[in-house]
Structure 1
Amino acid sequence: MHSEYNYKPYCTKTRHHGFCRALLHPCLALLCRYIGALGVRVICDNIPGLVNKQRQLCQQHPDLMQSVGEGAGEWIRECQHQFRHHRWNCSTLDRDHSVFGRIMLRSSREAAFVYAISSAGVVYAITRACSQGELKICNCDPHKRGRARDDRGNFDWGGCSDHVNFGIKFAKAFVDAREKTVRDARALMNLHNNRCGRMAVKRFMKLECKCHGISGSCELRTCWLAMSDFRKTGDYLRKKYNTAIEVTMNQDGTGFAVPKKALRKVTKSDLVYVESSPDYCLMDKVAGSLGTAGRICNKSSHGPDGCEIMCCGRGYDTMRVWRITQCECKFRWCCAVECKDCEEVADVHSCKAPKHANWRDHT
């Protein structure tokens, strides 16, 4: 059985096609703490899979690299949250150097989502670090000064506006650098989805204000721009995954062509993919699919988490479990909530394994 939340930090040398996995790794934060002692060049030269442009940025801005590494766990968890009820659940592999396994070698809509959410994660992590004063190169957005106007009237810029444009600029320079060294359909796909992820963060910037005046009358307002919770970005990109468009590279290699059966053209906000997804029902060593054997399913659901869909028609096993929950909770003045521990019995359903549960091996 593989867990729906089986992401664990680990340190290893990694290389991901089109994306530097090492620098999106939580343990980069540990590496960056040693930069002062070992030297920036030593650390950056020993992270595998970087192109020259990425090594230069790493050497010039080690503190930014640390922020990227620390933000990696956040977007991986978001990916796993978005797909927790689906056959492919953004699983990470503890002993696989590529983190997600061979799934990312395929130019599928799952790869499209991972590139978009990880690119968004870089923007989010860098922008947040800027606002929190953790980076020397940036701070609050310096352009949000003076007076401005919204649908409620005039206001003064104040506080600390998140400098999302800086986060986008750095993410574009660093993340896109490797894709620009080649010209093929996968690189073009990755660049497009990277941009979609970056702009998704900016899409959910919100204006927050503080009122001034007699009794909080809001005669005067001081406002700033802030990023929304990363969950909004995840929800948005999940919807884009649902409507992702299959494409091919056009003849001159500068853009996409869509099949005649496509109902619409590709826009900048669409996720795109080149290859169809593998069958996630069964373990497949070549495709990297973990299968759904042992996955928990919902017997009463008709959605993707339902046993019929999740188990791919193979049926499910039922196990009765006892668990302790809090019940009969009462509010006590003042100020506590007291609960009893109650034992309840529940049936847990999990997908049956196929009759031949070994890895498919097409080699």
Structure 2
Amino acid sequence: MKDRLFVWTILFLLFWHEGFSIRWLSLQHSTLHWNLSSVSNNPGRGIRSGARSPCGVARRRYGLAKLQAKLCRSTMEAMPHVQKAAVLAADTCQTVFKDRRWNCSSITTAPYLTPDLTRATREQAYVYAISSAALTYTMARACASGTLYHCTCAGKPDEPPNSNFQWGGCGDNIHWGVYFAKRFIDNVEKNNVDKSRKRRKGYEYDEDRKSKLVREEIAAVNLHNNRVGRRIIRESIQTQCKCHGVSGSCNVKTCWKGLPPMFEIGRKLMKQYTNAKEVSRYYVEGNLGKTRISDHLLYLSKSPDYCTKDVKLGSFGTVGRKCNVTTNETNSCRQLCCGRGYRTLVEEKLERCHCKYYNCCYVKCKICRTKTQIYECG
């Protein structure tokens, strides 16, 4: 345990000051209360600022970058939704990847990022995309629900309605969601690029210059993957309707543009993950600052195989993971256990069964004992 704590301490010291914009995902574990009733009208005073303010605590304990803490203080009313976005991103990622070797467990260690989320891997690309998408999604929904005074419902679509419906309702405000996500996430990575360029010019040694350039490249790839996440959100907007009429006859329909469940967004991004492109650092360097260098998720470094535990690579391994012996999918024992084999366990449960109603007022059940076999990777 002490060795593990030492390793995490070293990783923390190495990566804490890099300004990775996904450390805010640690808000999924937060117990902070965004006490808006005590907020001063002056954003520079009171609960918004100082070491004991929620934003100050979020910066120290939950890894918010300096720019994010600043935005927190000026827009604290949005922070409960940022916290919801962190939970949504983590839940979606872990649900989508639950049957794979990499089951998105890396996301739960924030703000102490594992190496697979700092070296521009395929997994890092997905986490950046899903976090950007989740923040856009949550803010767009918050606008539509009326819980943010910064924004309102989306405007009516430009396309004309047909004879079967009319535009109305309250659409999800993706425009404002994108605007906020860019300020909260992208600006941190842009700041990393700018700082790295300035520092790199002052270094005389090649190794120092290369180190700064790598940081620029990773930040540029992160920015790109953020944009991919938001693009999937834009492409997922769909027409949603509510019927009006006698006895639900639906003589008239009111429709608006809304977002599907976040799980659908996560599944679409998983396809992007599967088809992600590995690019060279020379390619990224030559395209730094360009608005679009690819429609795919991009990564720079090979991922670990996630079969065995390796803290240096950010792999938790698959030992002890439940697997399926009757399938050849990603959750099969053959794939998930990486050829190490599996063990069979018997799980016993006591459940109520054969329940019957007696007279009018009570139910009587028997207790049944059931046994099922489960399989765990060795």
TM-score (norm 1): 0.78
Amino acid at match of 1:67: H
1:313-332 Cα deviation digits (max 9, x unpaired): 11111111112457668999
Partner residue, 1:299: 325
Structure 1, residues 110-147: CA drift from partner, whole Å, max 9, x if none? 11111111111111111122122211111211x217x8
The one of 119, 144, 148 equivalent to 2:156 is 144
The answer for the alignment partner of 2:196 in structure 1 is: none
> Helix, strand or coil for the counterpart of 1:25?
helix
Shift of the alpha carbon at 1:36? 2.9
Q: Distance in 2 between matches of 1:93 and 1:240?
A: 18
Aligned to 1:246: 278
CA distance in 1, matches of 2:348, 2:263: 32
SS in 2 for 1:26: helix
Q: What residue is the counterpart of 2:178 in the other structure?
A: 168
Report the CA distance between 1:149 and its aligned residue. Answer: 2.5
Tell me if the contact between 1:113 and 1:238 (Cα under 8 Å) persists in the aligned partners: yes
Q: What corresponds to 2:192 in structure 1?
A: 182
Quick one: structure 1 residues 338 and 201, their matched pair in 2 at CA, closer, same or farther if it must change by over 3 Å?
farther
The residue that corresponds to 2:103 in the other structure is 89
Alignment of 1:203-242 (within 5 A): 203-212=235-244, 220-242=252-274
Q: Map Cα deviations across residues 292-338 of structure 1 (whole Å, 9 max, x no partner).
A: 11111111221221111111111111111112457668999x9xx99
Deviation, structure 1 residue 81: 0.7
2: distance between equivalents of 1:24 and 1:227? 25
Q: Does 1:343 align with 2:369?
A: yes
Check if 1:200 corresponds to 2:226: no
Kept in 2: contact 1:41–1:59 (CA 8 A): yes
Letter in 2 for 1:22: W
Task: Give the CA deviation at 1:188.
Answer: 1.2
Partner Cα distance (1:267, 1:253) in 2: 13
CA drift of 1:222 comes to 2.1
Q: Distance in 1 between matches of 2:88 and 2:276?
A: 23
Q: 1:60 maps to what in 2?
A: 74
- Map of 1:360 onto structure 2: none
Letter in 1 for 2:279: V
Aligned residue in 1 for 2:85: 71
* Residue in structure 1 matched with residue 316 of structure 2 by the alignment: 290
What is the letter of the counterpart of residue 128 of structure 1?
R
Q: Using the alignment, how far apart are the partners of 2:249 and 2:107 within structure 1? A: 55
**After the TM superposition, which residues 100-119 of structure 1 pair with which residues of structure 2 at under 5 Å, given as runs?**
101-119=114-132
Rounded to whole Å, the distance in 1 between the matches of 2:243 and 2:330 is 46
> 8 Å contact 1:90–1:100 — kept in the other structure?
no
C-alpha distance in structure 2 between counterparts of 1:199 and 1:176, whole Å:
14
Distance in structure 2 (CA, Å) of the matches to 1:17 and 1:295: 33
Moved more, 337-346 or 190-199: 337-346
CA spacing shift, 1:214–1:282, aligned 2, 3 Å: closer
Q: How has the CA–CA distance of structure 1 residues 325 and 120 changed in structure 2, closer, same or farther, with 3 Å as cutoff?
A: farther
Aligned-partner SS, 1:30: coil
Shift of 1:70: 2.2
**Shift of residue 279, structure 1, vs aligned partner:** 2.5
Distance 1:90 1:223, change over 3 A: same
Distance 1:240 1:118, change over 3 A: same
Match of 1:120 in 2: 133
**Structure 1 residues 194 and 327, CA, compared in 2 at 3 Å: closer, same or farther?**
farther
Q: Determine if contact 2:21/2:65 at 8 Å carries over to the other structure.
A: no
Distance 1:17 1:276, change over 3 A: farther
Cα–Cα, structure 1 residues 214 and 286, in superposed 2: closer, same or farther, change >3 Å? closer
> Given the superposition, is the C-alpha separation of residues 28 and 346 from structure 1 closer, same or farther in structure 2, using an over 3 Å criterion?
closer
| 2:146 partner SS | coil
Task: Say which SS state the counterpart of residue 302 (structure 1) adopts.
Answer: coil
The residue type paired with residue 139 of structure 2 is I
Are residues 230 and 288 of structure 1, via their aligned partners in 2, closer, same or farther at CA, if it must alter by over 3 Å?
same
The match for 2:144 among 124, 128, 131 is 131
Q: Against the structure 1 CA distance between its residues 298 and 154, is the aligned structure 2 distance closer, same or farther, given a 3 Å change threshold?
A: closer
Partner SS, residue 149 of structure 1: coil
SS at match of 1:181: helix
Return the letter of the residue paired with 1:254. N
Tell me if the contact between 1:315 and 1:351 (Cα under 8 Å) persists in the aligned partners.
yes
User: For the residues of structure 2 that align with 1:222 and 1:187, how far apart are their CA atoms?
Assistant: 43
Give the secondary structure class of the aligned counterpart of 2:257: strand
CA RMSD of aligned residues (A): 3.5
Q: Which is richer in helix?
A: 2
- The answer as to whether partners of 2:22 and 2:128 remain within 8 angstroms in 1 is no
Alpha-carbon distance between aligned partners in 2 of 1:195 and 1:323, rounded to the nearest angstrom: 47
Deviation of 1:52 after TM superposition, in Å, equals 5.1
Q: Which amino acid aligns with 1:313?
A: G
The aligned residue for residue 223 of structure 2 is 191
Structure 2: gaps of 5 or more residues = 1-11, 40-45, 194-215
